[in-house]
């Protein structure tokens, strides 16, 4: 089970986490700016869109192109949380 879940289908290595890619870096920077600056108005809205859009893009990318089932499950879980958060408002 462990091997099936975490084995990288491209390299054969065990892959649980990976080096951050552009959408995760964008998410992290925008999230930190949003928390530190607490901007209102259009700047706050823009940061909210960047935070949500970048993490949703990352999650969808993992769901579609994840290197193993673990990464795909992680993407599906995060994408579900994003969608639920958007629906709840």
The pLDDT score that the predictor gives to residue 51 is 98
The predicted model gives 9-28 an average pLDDT of 94
pTM beyond 0.85, yes or no: yes
**61, two tokens:** 């990318």
Task: Answer whether residue 89 shows pLDDT above 90.
Answer: no
């Amino acid at each position: 089970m462990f091997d099936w879940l975490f084995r990288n289908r491209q390299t054969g290595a065990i892959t649980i986490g990976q080096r951050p890619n552009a959408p995760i870096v964008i998410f992290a920077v925008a999230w930190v700016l949003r928390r530190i600056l607490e901007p209102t108005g259009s700047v706050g809205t823009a940061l909210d869109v960047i935070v949500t859009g970048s993490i949703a893009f990352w999650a969808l990318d993992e769901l579609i192109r994840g290197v193993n089932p673990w990464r795909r499950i992680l993407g599906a879980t995060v994408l579900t949380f994003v969608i639920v958060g958007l629906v709840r408002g």
